[in-house]
Amino acid sequence: MANDFKPPVTVALTGASGAQYGLRLIECLVAADHEVWVMISKAAHLVIDTETDISLPARPERLVEALGEMSGARAGQIRCFAREDWMAPVASGSGAPASMVICPCSTGTLSAVATGASNNLIERAADVALKERRQLILVPRETPFSAIHLEHMLSLTRMGAVILPAAPGFYHQPSSVDDLIDFIVARILNQLGIEHRLMPRWGESAPST
Ligand SMILES: Cc1cc2nc3c(=O)[nH]c(=O)nc-3n(C[C@H](O)[C@H](O)[C@H](O)COP(=O)(O)O)c2cc1C
């Protein structure tokens, strides 16, 4: 039976600090009933091990199960692709979703995307998003930024990508790390045009939950 999910969104986690942003984004997309296509770089696995209590296997089939358990996804809602799975739909303009988010985005992947390296499936999928003029959102986390990072961000912005730094605000008076994570994830969902109740938009009052 064909699934009834909303259109797929590609989410790639790379090896910058802030794995929680990407994992929470997957959870929120699942909750919003979207299909989610996931890629996790080798370095991102190391960051996830360092920063969270979640243990994620590398093999795509097992990763689907683990992310499904973590997010409460229905069967078929999450698909995962390996580093060099060049036959994956994200590797071609004819199969790639309308939107891709790299969250968090390492400066290494930022540089590779800005220069079109396409040395792994994450970089290739981003290259496809750019060439097809699809939505590409990058969530870099580094501090301070070098001229190299800033120049790559500028050229990506000029190519139509959105640079959405992992720099949460504090005007919503966060009381936990989860509040800070949700601040960034809410911004990503706003960009994607996906409804959420993570935090009120500017000028709105807080949801009554
Ligand atoms: C625990 C940990 C934290 C890291 N934090 C960052 C970071 O915040 N920003 C960044 O650009 N790279 C960071 N790195 C380095 C990247 O993981 C490294 O450059 C890697 O080659 C990126 O590969 P990828 O883009 O294929 O994931 C971190 C690495 C580790 C192990």
Query: How far, in Å, from the CA of 32 to the mean position of ligand 1?
Result: 29
**pTM exceeding 0.85:** yes
Asked if residue 64 is part of any domain, the answer here is yes
What is the average pLDDT value for the chain, to the nearest integer?
Answer: 96
Asked if residue 102 is part of any domain, the answer here is yes
Domain at 157, CATH number: 3.40.50.1950
Residue 100 phi/psi, 5-degree rounding, is -135, 140
Asked if residue 199 is part of any domain, the answer here is no
Structural domain boundaries enclosing 76: 6-192
Give Cβ neighbours of residue 122 (< 8 Å, ≥ 6 apart).
12, 14, 39, 41, 83, 102, 109
Q: What is the pLDDT of residue 207?
A: 55
Which helix (H) or strand (E) segment holds residue 191: the answer is helix 177-192
Is ligand 1 within 6 A of the CB of residue 41? Answer: yes
Query: How far, in Å, from the CA of 75 to the mean position of ligand 1?
Result: 31
Domain count, the chain: 1
176-189 residue pLDDT tens = 999 999 999 999 99
**Which residue's CA lies nearest to atom 7 of ligand 1?**
16
Q: Is the pLDDT of residue 1 over 60?
A: no
Asked if residue 206 is part of any domain, the answer here is no
Residue 24 phi/psi, 5-degree rounding, is -65, -35
Is ligand 1 within 6 A of the CB of residue 107? Answer: yes
Q: Is the pLDDT of residue 206 over 70?
A: no
50-95 residue pLDDT tens = 999 998 999 999 999 999 999 999 999 999 999 999 999 999 999 9
Helix (H, G, I), strand (E, B) or coil at 162: strand
Q: Which of 50, 62, 46, 59 is nearest to 13 (CA)?
A: 46
Is ligand 1 within 6 A of the CB of residue 20? Answer: no
Determine the number of helices (DSSP H) and then strands (DSSP E) in the chain.
7, 6
Asked if residue 207 is part of any domain, the answer here is no
Asked if residue 1 is part of any domain, the answer here is no
Asked if residue 184 is part of any domain, the answer here is yes
Asked if residue 175 is part of any domain, the answer here is yes
87-129 residue pLDDT tens = 999 999 999 999 999 999 999 999 999 999 999 999 999 999 9
For the segment 9-21, the average pLDDT, to the nearest whole number, is 98
Top pLDDT among 199 and 105 is at: 105
DSSP annotation string for 111-157: HHHHHT---SHHHHHHHHHHHTT-EEEEEE--SSPPHHHHHHHHHHH
Which helix (H) or strand (E) segment holds residue 47: the answer is helix 42-51
